Amino acid sequence: MHGVMFQFFEWNLPNDGSLWRTIAESAPSLREKGITAIWFPPATKGAAGGYDVGYAVYDLFDLGEFDQKNSTRTKYGTREELLRAVEAVQAHGMDAYLDVVMNHRIGGDETEEVTVVEVNPANRLEAISEPYVIRAWSHYTFPGRAGAYSDFQWTRDHFDAFGADANQPEVSGKIFRVADRAFSSEVDPENGNFAYLMGANVDHSRQDVRDELVRWGVWLLETTGARGVRIDAAKHISRSFVLEWLTRVREAHPEREVFAVGEYWSGSIDMLESYLRETKGALRLFDVPLHFRMHQASQLGRDYDLRTLLDDTLVARNPMAAVTFVDNHDSQPGQALASPIADWFKPIAYAFILLRHEGYPCVFYGDYFGNDGAGGDDQRLVAHRHVIDAMLVARAKFLYGEQEDYFESPTCVGWIVRGNDEHPGIMAVVVSTADACVLTMQAGRPAVEFREITGASEDRLRAGDDGAVRFHGRAGGVSVWCSV
């Protein structure tokens, strides 16, 4: 009920190979604060070797063990350091979730001739050239690994499209579909068909590809001992393959319950619900519609109607399937999907995901430790950590029993959680995007005294004889009142 995921990376981390060690060292303190799972960045070797964030995946079976792409370790460390980090996380009562990238390959070892047609980037179903031959970086021989763990070599037969991996002049911006292949119809319909994302696009319709990716998934969980996965670029991958992959990997590991969450980057709640139906509830999804609403609210301030913040979000429609988040590595400034939540709104956003029953919340490294190289006010970054810590304590102690919303004003909303017999504490949250405000909420019993836990107020409040309390809300922020 009170699970909290922690995304332990951001895009601008230093390329010093220290992250796996840092995760292992941080495990005791994060568990003590109330974190129950750690989301690791991609652990596999990327095309830029020790400088690669991990999403430009080169060799899935190289976890920082082989001298490939001018590096043995990955950006985050060596294979042994990864295994120790997973072990440390799970030894302290948390689950380790690994980021898996199965949509594309980048950094092939050899080129091959491929007959292609160019497609319209704005409508990938429209061919805009006659077939012709290009040389593509489509042959992956993995010479540094020399067949260890798998002797499968990726060739032109295993991809259905290419972009920057095409080896010819003036290729920038072009998308080449293999002439005798069709894109999967089981993907997001943006741009006509959004199967192609980057690099060499994996053809999941081939059974040998499906079998190899399943073998890798089984091997990955067996090797690391991790208990869950985050599936990258889910909107671009055949839905039936995602379901097959999860089913077969789980069948191979009956000794553990393999958690899965997908990244389906779309603001359309209908698209997310369709995806969940077609994958038969095999995984949860990040609540991107909620993130976009928070982004908009943080930009508009007092002009945004807070009463609508949860409308048409996954956490409102299907809370058991929703992984809620404020920001992540893709939404932070400087990234292609940048849609950062304004700094002043971050504490409000975290109240909505950490201090309500619905959804499985995820705390972002950048909001807790800061985003390296992204600028910003260090003192406010520290303040976010303080507020998040306070909310984690409140979540663990007070998030029990009936929850009642008081969404009465466009700029001042709140809710109260009244506890139960086993956990009788009461928590009230007041959010304001304008001036200081007061919300009268029903605590359910008289004479209960409340204090504010985030530093927004030093006052003490007391319930009247009728159980009602006039809870104060700070201007442009969040106030969390807990019974004493």
Phi, psi values for residue 175, rounded to 5°: -125, 125
- Co-location of 196 and 250 in the same domain: no
- Co-location of 286 and 253 in the same domain: yes
Among 337, 370, 398, identify where a domain stops: 398
- Co-location of 268 and 369 in the same domain: yes
Tell me which residue range forms the domain holding 10: 5-102+207-398
Q: How far apart are CA 150 and CA 414, in angstroms?
A: 55
Catalytically active residues are: 232, 263
Average pLDDT over residues 299-311: 98
- Co-location of 365 and 311 in the same domain: yes
Residue 65 belongs to domain with CATH number: 3.20.20.80
Pairing of strands 95-100, 37-40: parallel
Residue 166 belongs to domain with CATH number: 2.40.30.140
- Co-location of 97 and 160 in the same domain: no
Question: What's the half-sphere exposure (Cβ side, CA atoms, 13 Å) at 105?
Answer: 30
* Residues whose CB falls within 8 Å of the CB of residue 16, separated by 6 or more in sequence, listed in order: none
Q: What tens digit of pLDDT does each residue of 151-208 get?
A: 999 999 999 999 988 888 778 889 999 999 999 999 999 999 999 999 999 999 999 9
- Co-location of 174 and 146 in the same domain: yes
Q: How many domains does the chain have?
A: 3
- Co-location of 112 and 63 in the same domain: no
Whether the model clears a pTM of 0.85, i.e. scores above it, the answer is: yes
- Co-location of 183 and 122 in the same domain: yes
Among 155, 173, 202, identify where a domain stops: 202
Residue 460 belongs to domain with CATH number: 2.60.40.1180
Q: What tens digit of pLDDT does each residue of 429-465 get?
A: 999 999 999 999 999 999 999 999 999 999 999 999 9
- Co-location of 274 and 294 in the same domain: yes
Q: What tens digit of pLDDT does each residue of 208-251 get?
A: 999 999 999 999 999 999 999 999 999 999 999 999 999 999 99
Average pLDDT over residues 130-136: 96
- Co-location of 269 and 145 in the same domain: no
Please tell me the predicted confidence (pLDDT) of residue 373: 54
- Co-location of 64 and 185 in the same domain: no
Closest residue by Cα to residue 179 from 192, 197, 205, 161: 161
Please tell me the predicted confidence (pLDDT) of residue 152: 98
- Helix axis angle, 19-33 relative to 378-398, nearest 10°? 50
- Co-location of 358 and 294 in the same domain: yes
Contact 238, 184 (CB under 8 A): yes
**Least confident span in 94-108, 136-150, 280-294, 383-397:** 383-397
Among 183, 202, 221, identify where a domain stops: 202
